[in-house]
Amino acid sequence: MTVINFNDIALTDAERQPCEVWTRVMGYHRPVSEFNKGKKSEYYSRKCFVEEKATQHLDSEFQACTCAAE
């Protein structure tokens, strides 16, 4: 079995393959590279969230609400 250490791999810009990023906009998928300047700015300023953290927050609020109702 061959083990590859990816930290040892160094590529020049000429060897790299461009990666196209797509996102869902208004019900369909489009590449970000085709967005206008304003939409690109909006896309890059978006905040990502982790669903687990969001549901934990809701669970703690729900518990607080049920305790207050007793």
What pLDDT is stored for residue 57 in this prediction? Answer: 61
> Tokens in use for 65?
């609400």
pLDDT (0 to 100) of residue 69: 45
DSSP annotation string for 8-63: G----GGGPPP---EEEETTEEEEGGGS-HHHHHHHHTPPP--HHHHHHHHHHHHH
Residues whose CB is less than 8 angstroms from the CB of residue 33 and which lie 6 or more positions away in sequence, other chains included = 20, 21
pLDDT of residue 37: 94
Q: For each of the chain's 70 residues, which pLDDT tens digit applies?
A: 788 888 888 888 888 888 899 988 778 899 999 999 999 999 899 887 777 766 776 655 555 444 444 4
